[in-house]
Amino acid sequence: MSSDPILAALEASWPPAATEHRGPLTLRRGAGGGQRVSATTVAPGWTPADLDAAEDWMRAEGQSLLFRVLPGDSALDAALAARGYVINDPVVTFTAPVERLMRELPRLRCFAIWPPLEVQREIWAADGLGPARVAVMERAADPKTAILGRDDDRPAGAAYVGALGQVAALHALHVLPAHRRRGLARDILSESARWAASVGCTHLTLLVTAGNLGAQAAYHAAGMEQSPGYHYRLKPAEGA
């Protein structure tokens, strides 16, 4: 499977508050939803003047000067480095056919629910995912769902899944610390794949930070395949 539908599903399922297209620039208003919905991307054919314009726009919006750099964008990467931008939060992609991930789960182990319950919001909040991140989920187009995972007869984990075409993208998977290492994350992954299949998807994908080797090992063990993701280039606060 090519990376294009994967990146498209990741983008569609985690959308910015607003997007502007100006020539080769895609400018995003994040509204507090994190780097993925705030970073500017640059298509081929850009000039240094385009980078200047992007910086001016981000300053006017009160956002950090932040670009997302895809694999192969070496010229953009070098140009941003020359302007003082530093690499921030590189990520890798994991993808698998949904059939590979689906397992028989214990009764009442996981549920697909939309809109998310208050307890799911509380689980995300425990991981630092507050209302602005949940708002990203809420503004994504259907189909989408929130997964609730249970352990020891109580809510213990949550995730969000959105779909585009034949690819579903998993985001915001969090298991409460007291319930980790009990297989719940993998069961949430399985329920996410089951839901994805129910809306016609053939593959499930997700992003992991390059430094999170524990999560990467878990996704490898589940049968997911790793491919290059992207990284951000962030300019340190001016005057700092």
Per-residue pLDDT for 106 more than 60? yes
Share of the chain above pLDDT 90, in %: 96
In degrees and rounded to multiples of 5, residue 180 shows phi and psi of -80, 160
Q: What's the Rg (C-alpha) of the chain?
A: 18
For residue 238, name the pLDDT band (cuts at 50, 70, 90): low
- The pLDDT of residue 37 is 97
For residue 24, name the pLDDT band (cuts at 50, 70, 90): very high
The per-residue pLDDT for range 47-65, each reduced to its tens digit, is: 999 999 999 999 999 999 9
pTM above 0.85, yes or no: yes
The per-residue pLDDT for range 149-158, each reduced to its tens digit, is: 999 999 999 9
**Inter-CA distances, 193 with 58, 91, 92, 202, 209, Å:** 37, 21, 19, 9, 21
3 state SS of 90: strand
What lies within 8 Å, CB to CB, of 56 at 6+ separation is none
For residue 1, name the pLDDT band (cuts at 50, 70, 90): very low
Omega within 30 of 0 (cis) for the link into 115: yes
- The pLDDT of residue 237 is 85
- The pLDDT of residue 198 is 98
- Report the 3 state secondary structure along 154-212: EEEEEEEEEEECCEEEEEEEEECHHHCCCCHHHHHHHHHHHHHHHCCCCEEEEEEECCC
Tell me which H or E stretch contains 114: none
Per-residue pLDDT for 227 more than 90? yes
Taking the C-alpha atoms of residue 20 and residue 6, their distance in angstroms, rounded to an integer, is 22
- The pLDDT of residue 2 is 45
